[in-house]
Amino acid sequence: MPLRTIIQPDNPVLRKKAIRVHSYDKKFQTLVDDMIETLMAAPGVGLAAPQVAVSQRLIIVQLPNDDDAKAEFGDEAGKLYVVANPEIIKASKAMLEGVEGCLSIPGYVGLVDRHEKITITGFDRHGQPLRIKAEGWQARVFQHEIDHLDGRLYIDIASEIWKPSEREAEEAED
């Protein structure tokens, strides 16, 4: 499984609305496997297909699995989500401001408001329906990745953008 190249904003695929996934065939499974490997190598906590120059509505999310993550996220720590055609069907009114980074925009982070809690529907890598309830940082990651599917980057909605210290950069990677 080869690593895919993570594109940057100069590639127009990153700014296009991605098309729905209609087939869960071998080619799709290869894309999923490649994206998982690319995310792990990056490293990051989320990756959308447009970030690897594939205009499909597919995201991969995996929170860290270290002791701090286990304490904060419990069973969600380290859990891998593959979601085709994700849709946010419910979002809390409560918003949280937080620092975000992006594998497609290396070297910068920004301050972004996101819904504190969301519910997502979509399909797993085999086309089976799924429903995910997420809150806090996990909800932020899902919202960030879903934005990629609509051609929107965090820099479009950030209240502030800056070059972070090394520690801030590690904490904010998506």
CB atoms inside a 10 Å sphere around CB 170: 11
For residues 18 and 58, give the distance between their C-alpha atoms in angstroms, rounded to a whole number: 9
As to burial, measured by CB atoms within 10 angstroms (0-12 exposed, 13-18 middle, 19+ buried), residue 89 is: exposed
For residues 20 and 83, give the distance between their C-alpha atoms in angstroms, rounded to a whole number: 11
Catalytic residue chosen out of the listed positions 37, 100, 135, 145: 145
Alpha carbon distances (Å) from 170 to 44, 101, 145, 164: 9, 9, 18, 9
Three-state SS for 82? Answer: strand
Q: Is 145 a catalytic residue?
A: yes
Across the chain, the runs of DSSP E, i.e. the strands, are: 46-48, 58-62, 80-91, 95-101, 109-115, 117-123, 129-135, 160-162
Active-site annotation, residues: 145
